[in-house]
Amino acid sequence: MSELQLVDSFPIWKAVLWCFYPMAALVLVELISRALPDDDDDFGGGKMIPTYQPVRAR
């Protein structure tokens, strides 16, 4: 096998950028979504919803 040749048409900084930009995009989306208000209605602890409680037969 011949030696690997350095390719000057694609610089190393572009290769590093292509590796890290997807993670940076996900972090940016996470930071933006945390800054926006969420739609929960449990101010101060939440509510117990009896829908998920088992029904007792009498």
CA dihedral for 26, 30, 32, 36, sign (positive or negative): positive
Q: What is the pLDDT of residues 1-58, one digit of tens each?
A: 566 666 668 888 888 999 999 999 999 999 999 888 776 655 666 666 667 667 666 6
CA distance 48 to 55: 15
Report DSSP letters for 7-30, one per residue.
-TTS-HHHHHHHHHHHHHHHHHHH
Alpha carbon 47 to chain centroid, angstroms: 28
Residue 27 is predicted with a pLDDT of: 96
- HSE toward the beta carbon, residue 6, CA cutoff 13 A: 3
Domain layout of the chain by residue ranges: 10-36
Residue 9 is predicted with a pLDDT of: 81
Residue 22 is predicted with a pLDDT of: 92
Residue 30 is predicted with a pLDDT of: 95
Residue 15 is predicted with a pLDDT of: 87
Residue 41 is predicted with a pLDDT of: 59
